[in-house]
A and B are shown apart, each in its own frame.
Chain A
Amino acid sequence: MKVKYFAWVRERVGKAEETLEPPASVRTVEDLIRWLSGRGEAYAYAFETPRVIRAAIDHAHVRPDATIAGAREIAFFPPMTGG
């Protein structure tokens, strides 16, 4: 799946997007955040406060317990500040 990062999450991870194949045990958005956090210091820093991280699957907002099965694109970002 394609994983995208925006705003300070993107800056902390150090890249805007990447293609990842998490193991089958990673079932939900919060599992994915936990798995990403273990991929190195940059990820651990980006996801150090999981409750402030927002996620979207295939362009729709989702909650941390949403399943990632079948997702083509998952995005992580801070709370939005547009408008």
Chain B
Amino acid sequence: MTVPITIRIQEADFDIAREIALLTDGRTDIGAVVSFSGICRGSEDGDPIAALTLEHYPGMAETEIKRHAEVAVSRWALNGLTIIHRFGRIEPGQNIVLVLTASHHRQAAFEAAEFLMDYLKTSAPFWKRTESGKGANWVEARSHDDAAAARWAKT
């Protein structure tokens, strides 16, 4: 059976409960749903921020996320998968990203969600810029994010 994969790149917010319902409604084969939400923090490296602005590469963002979603589906026994990534201006406390993974047993859903987030951080073409009293600044990539993604590489 083909595993349903939903990928959306959007400016608008999302409703986590609604997205979980869309993934699970009418299904009796799902025993676990893992939900990861990335939320805009009110500070970056200790300095308060007013907002983040996310720039993305339309077309490539969808392609790159889909590629990793397909890897996740081939590596773990998933029954469904939803990834939503927002772009535009996002204020502290607001949602940035959602990853939902559904599986028969919990382990596949937990691992696949973590794998997807690690790759979204390092491979999905999105860039964060912070707005603060000091002006606008591009967020720098972190080496521990690269290390987190690298541990999933198959040896």
Contact = CB atoms under 8 A, between A and B. Distances in A.
A77 B120 contact: no
Interface stretch (B73-81, B104-112, B123-131): B123-131
Contacts of B124: 80, 82-83
Contacts of B38: 83
Interface string A57-83: 001110000000000000101111111
Contacts of A59: 57, 59-60, 63-64
B129 A83 contact: no
A13 interface: no
A34 interface: no
A78 B139 CA distance: 10
A29 interface: no
B11 to A, nearest CB: 14
Given A60-B60, A81-B126, 13 more contacts: A6-B125, A7-B129, A7-B138, A59-B59, A59-B60, A59-B63, A77-B127, A81-B138, A82-B54, A82-B85, A82-B121, A82-B127, A83-B120
